[in-house]
Amino acid sequence: MIFVGKVDETEVGKIRAGMSIDLEIGAIEKDRFQAVLEYISPKGIEENGAVQFEIKASVQLLERQFIRAGYSANANIVLDKRDQALVIPEGLLKFENDSSFVEVQRGEEQQFEKRFVQTGLSDGINIEIISGLKQDDKIKGEKLDSKKRNENKTNQG
């Protein structure tokens, strides 16, 4: 089975053949389907004011899975991922010049200090903290959270 979709020109430079794709098919709510990106069109086509590039992916079905041709689907392509990453909600970051920081609670008091952090991957909601924070630090605004996986995805379909 082959998935055929389109990728916007702003995202096509981030993908390459061989990447994993997670397919969500509207008519089949409970299952997710795995696929491998096999083809990216060398030329885009303008649609509704944006240039779109056709992609094709080979869908890997399990024995119990069945798909009919013509279903609509969305593809999530994992651009990069981290396991056991320390992440915080992106909205807690503050910026000063070219640096980012958070406000960390000092001791048991309600006093906070500015702490500069180095950031990594973001999924648009949570952002990886590479350095500057520890798991048990208390950040002004919300509790620090450790996630097993922080993935940066692009949605296509």
Which of the residue ranges 4-13, 32-41, 108-117, 143-152 would you say has the lowest mean pLDDT?
A: 143-152
Mean pLDDT of 16-21: 93
Nearest alpha-carbon partner for 40 in 77, 5, 10: 5
Give per-residue pLDDT as tens, 116-137.
Answer: 999 998 888 889 999 999 988 8
* pLDDT confidence bin for 156, thresholds 50/70/90: low
Residue with the bigger pLDDT between 133 and 29: it is 133
What is residue 91's three-state secondary structure? helix
> What pLDDT does residue 31 have?
84
> What pLDDT does residue 146 have?
46
> What pLDDT does residue 65 have?
78
CA–CA gap between residue 50 and residue 69 (Å, rounded): 27
Which of the residue ranges 64-68, 70-74, 115-119 would you say has the lowest mean pLDDT?
A: 64-68
CATH architecture assigned to 82-151: Beta Barrel (2.40)
Q: Judge: domain 2-80, CATH 3.90.1150.10.
A: no
Q: What is the DSSP string of 6-35?
A: EEEHHHHTT--TT-EEEEEETTEEEEEEEE
Q: Where in the chain is the domain with CATH 2.40.420.20?
A: 82-151
Q: Where in the chain is the domain with CATH 2.40.30.170?
A: 2-80
